[in-house]
Structure 1
Amino acid sequence: MKRSLFLLVLLLTSFAPKKNPVLGKWENPKGDGRMEIITRNNKFYGKLYWLKEPNLPDGTPKMDINNPDPKLQKRHIQGLEIIHDLVDKGNGVFEDGFVYEPKTAKDFNCRLELIGDKLQMQGFIGTPLLGRTELWTRVK
């Protein structure tokens, strides 16, 4: 009886969906921003859930003021979804999505790659060689 129960539990857990290792919370190299990566509709998204300095010196929240769309200028930077539409290509690589940079209010092509417990993020135009790369650390 115990053996049958053990085999049943083993069988059921082997079919349980495995959590993608890119999911979770990540901190940028400067330590002043954190992003949470989630998935929906088989794509991956990243939201700035924490900023070391979410407010301006006068105490008002930092907003997306550089955005050319007046309606979007009222968005808070903290809480902003900056990564969208990434596709899991396998082997810890995520491509075909975009990263939004609030300082320039521009979307760039985005590529993420898991390297151990680090997340390499590349924002670029055309090719990853023409862009910027950062190494994010998992928040524990």
Structure 2
Amino acid sequence: MFFIWPMMAQDGEEILGEWVTSDGSAKLEIEKEEDGFFARVVWLANPNENGAPKLDHQNADRSLRRRPILGLKIIEDLHYKDGKWVNGELYDPESGETYSCQLKLDDKGVLEVRGYLGMPVFGRSVFWKRVN
């Protein structure tokens, strides 16, 4: 008797596609570039403020405060290593802060997105589910 194992994505590509945040407030698309993986905001439950598109008001760089949240890259420079996506940067438009980040996909298809300062143990995780 022998088993046929399902085809696995190579080089960490199993995270490619659309994901929804745990609170349902946003959908993000994870894509791959030559330099690594990144995530961009592709849908917001509340895309407008006062009748205009929601902007990146909290950004520390004043010149970026007028860019829309929709379409914004919030994760950049992730690299796949040993079953995790590591060494990335996570931008939180709600606080205007940028953190180091890593991602891990569990066996149920839930993506743990961990933002941290210094070491991952000193961070916080959110969980995204794949959009069907």
TM-score range, shorter chain: 0.7 to 0.9
Aligned pairs for 1:68-107 (under 5 A) are 68-91=60-83, 93-107=84-98
Unaligned runs of 5+ in 2: 1-6
Work out which of the residue numbers 22, 29, 33 in structure 2 matches 1:36. 29
Q: With the length of structure 2 as denominator, give the TM-score of the two structures.
A: 0.87
TM-score, length of structure 1 as denominator length = 0.82
Partner of 1:3: none
RMSD, aligned α-carbons: 1.7
Quick one: which amino acid aligns to residue 125 of structure 1? L
Equivalent-residue separation in structure 2 for 1:68 and 1:43 (angstroms): 25
What amino acid is the match of 1:96? N
1:33-53 CA-partner distances (Å, limit 9, x unpaired): 111000001400000100000
CA radius of gyration, larger in = 1
Bigger helix share: 1
Runs of 4+ in 1 over 6 A off after TM superposition: none
Cα separation, 1, equivalents of 2:110 and 2:118: 24
For 1:80 and 1:42, how far apart are their aligned partners in 2?
18
Query: Higher strand fraction: Structure 1 or Structure 2?
Result: 2
User: Distance in 2 between the 1:134 and 1:97 partners?
Assistant: 15
Gaps of 5+ in 1: 1-13
